[in-house]
Amino acid sequence: MESAKDFFNNPELSFAKCHYLTENYEQSLEWEKESVSSYSCGTVKDDEGLARNIFSPHHYDISTGSLTTLAFDDILNKGLSVLRCNQVDTAKIIEIGKNKKKDTHGYHGYIRVQAKTIREYVVDSKRAMAIYDTAMIDLFSHADICSISVTSKSSKNLLRFFLKDAFSKLIPND
């Protein structure tokens, strides 16, 4: 089996890495204890805050003013992209969100969660998610939250609803 760094830096796996991690649960837990990026300052600690930028129409329903469960779909395939709050301030989180905005998507702000909250969620006696420090050359604060044990359709739905409740309310971008 390849190393954690090789796995996370393999472009062929970028859109399906969570599928592999789910099939290799024990390996997924071990890799979470390693730095998986050459640009990382280390693994994600339980007391760290994690921020996720929110865009419409997929993440946020403007008519109801609420998050959608689609905001968390990436956790099942390519990983839920988040920023480590101990490495980036609020202004930078918003700047990153505004720069990522595409013409067809509106940027609304970000949501936050504690790493420990993510790690404590259990499905069928197994941790449901792991957090990997996937820092990039131009984004040192980047991390990914991946599903590592959720396989049934009902468990996937429950995971999305858990995340919707676990993350903070939207922190606006203004």
Count how many domains the chain has.
1
User: What are residue 137's phi and psi, to 5 degrees?
Assistant: -55, -35
- pTM for this entry: 0.94
pLDDT at 26: 96
User: Residue 51: is its pLDDT beyond 60?
Assistant: yes
Residue 114 domain boundaries: 4-172
CB 8 within 8 A of CB 15: no
Amino acid at 1: M
Helix (H, G, I), strand (E, B) or coil at 110: strand
User: Residue 115: is its pLDDT beyond 70?
Assistant: yes
